[in-house]
Structure 1
Amino acid sequence: IKQINHTCIITVIMKRSNNEDHCGLLKQLLESSPVSVEINKKGFHRELVTTVELIPDVPSGVRVLLVQRWPRGVYLDPYQLASLSDQRDWQILLDSGIDLEVPAHKTSGFVTYVYPTPDGPTPSLVKVTIPVHGRYHEPSFDGKTFTSVDIEPPELLLRTEKCAQLNNLEPHIVVDAPCTPDNSSTCPWVKLLHQQEQGSGGFQFPVGDGSLVTPVCGGTLLVTMICCVALSKYMWEHRII
């Protein structure tokens, strides 16, 4: 009986030690994993490149999740993302449907969940390139020819099933998010409370001059009426019915 009790005590101590080791590694990852964002290309069609630098030899079972909150001035094309699924090693989940035709002032922001290498080991360098498109904006009445759309860096979330004491990883906090891109269930993830000090990136999109709306509309109407009168006169003179 004593031998069995000693065996149980040793097993419990080993499990507790392994759990603490994995929790410590998870906290180390959060404190030493800078997130950087870069914007490529110009015009209405851009690329947002997010890079996460993890420690070398990331422990097995650690999963990474990037939560990106997008403003209403941009959108992602679900059809384009689906067509590129075979060319990337990450998967993405959108929190809502996206209307590709709605202008910026008639839509709202949305959230994406990006899972780098969801089925394989997590590399020490995670790099995600997402194609982003600008929406059409309302005309400007104050002389501005461009409008700015700010993009905040994504939130870095980590989890591992080998760390059960997630609440002991202060100052980081625990949040619920989809476990996988299938969105079949939610899991607790550890979120970096204080993101690395990096300013938001920005897009510059051209906008129309609102002061020209009246003369342009009036000129268009006048030209249309003149063309209609000229066409009607031509048809009358040549007896075209």
Structure 2
Amino acid sequence: MSRRRMQGGKDTNCSEIILIQEIVKDGFHRDLLIRVKLGTNIENSQTCNVLIKYHLPMGLYVDPYELASLQEHNVTEAMIIQDTVDLEAPDYLSEEFDVLLYAKSDSQCSECFRTILPIHCRYHQPEEKEERAFVVVKNPELFVSCYNDFPSLNCWKQSEMEAPCSMRNKHICQWSNMKYKSVNQNVMLQVPVGLRVHCHLVCVMTLFITVLCSGLILRAVFKHGHFSL
């Protein structure tokens, strides 16, 4: 049974908006691939822009320098809604923050958009037994801004907000917060975690290797270096 809703006195078919999330790569450095399908009733989706807002947990961070490089190469357009991001802070000393992603039209699907967000896992405190921790990325908010009015999109409009039209176009656009169907409910990442029982061994070995390497460097400097008074 198709969904129908009254819009401006007309009965309109409302095809669902679909959002798909997928984690690619392994380890501490991952890519979050997002695809959005606006619906089969939108004849010309090229007149629409798609904005995705993620609220990232403390266990993850996004590198602003990496985002700037990706934007320069026209790969990803994203904006971190925070003054500074501490790239070295562990999970328990970091803060949550928001990221805005501007999706691009998908050449393989006329009504689809896609984007990629590089995300990085933070180090966690050692655990007693578990050698892994879980970080959950909650489903994002989805915003759409179109030059034309599509009744099928109006079916799922919840609220509106103002935001830059794109990273390159700083003019303010009116964005509609859309309800959508998520193929994957949230995204969960596994992060390797050390064991507390290994802490003393790791500290001793780290100190030993540091002293050994420093001694080898000093030996090479005095042996091969040229000093003048």
Identify the structure with the greater strand proportion: 2
Rounded to whole Å, the distance in 1 between the matches of 2:22 and 2:38 is: 18
1:105 alignment partner AA: Y
- Are 2:79 and 1:93 equivalent residues in the alignment? yes
Structure 1 partner of 2:51: 65
1:38 alignment partner AA: E
- Are 2:157 and 1:172 equivalent residues in the alignment? yes
Residue 161 (structure 1) shift: 4.9
Structure 2 partner of 1:236: none
Q: Secondary structure at the match of 1:84?
A: helix
Rounded to whole Å, the distance in 1 between the matches of 2:188 and 2:56 is: 12
2:144 alignment partner AA: L
Rounded to whole Å, the distance in 1 between the matches of 2:75 and 2:31 is: 16
Structure 1 partner of 2:144: 158
Q: Percent of aligned positions with the same letter in both sequences? A: 25
Contact 1:155 1:195 survives alignment (8 Å): no
- Structure 2 unaligned spans of 5+: 1-6, 213-229
Rounded to whole Å, the distance in 1 between the matches of 2:32 and 2:11 is: 31
Aligned CA distance change for structure 1 residues 123 and 88 (closer, same or farther; 3 Å): farther
- Structure 1 unaligned spans of 5+: 1-18, 228-241
Residue 20 (structure 1) shift: 5.8
Q: How does 1:26-105 map to 2 (within 5 A)?
A: 28=14, 31-55=15-39, 57-59=43-45, 61-96=47-82, 97-105=84-92
Residue 62 (structure 1) shift: 2.0
Aligned CA distance change for structure 1 residues 117 and 36 (closer, same or farther; 3 Å): closer
Correspondence for 1:149 among 120, 132, 135: 135
Contact 2:67 2:76 survives alignment (8 Å): no
Q: How does 1:11-26 map to 2 (within 5 A)?
A: none
Structure 1 partner of 2:113: 126
Give the TM-score taking structure 2 as reference length. Answer: 0.69
Residue 82 (structure 1) shift: 1.4
Rounded to whole Å, the distance in 1 between the matches of 2:143 and 2:100 is: 10
2:17 alignment partner AA: S
Identify the structure with the greater helix proportion: 1
Deviations 1:114-154 (A, max 9, x none): 11249xxx95221212211111111113x110000011232
Structure 1 partner of 2:95: 108
Rounded to whole Å, the distance in 1 between the matches of 2:160 and 2:31 is: 28
- Are 2:119 and 1:135 equivalent residues in the alignment? no
Contact 1:70 1:109 survives alignment (8 Å): yes
Give the TM-score taking structure 1 as reference length. Answer: 0.66
Contact 2:17 2:180 survives alignment (8 Å): no
Contact 2:35 2:115 survives alignment (8 Å): yes
* Larger gyration radius, structure 1 or structure 2: 1
1:42 alignment partner AA: D
Superposed CA RMSD: 3.7
Q: Secondary structure at the match of 2:182?
A: coil
Rounded to whole Å, the distance in 2 between the matches of 1:177 and 1:24 is: 29
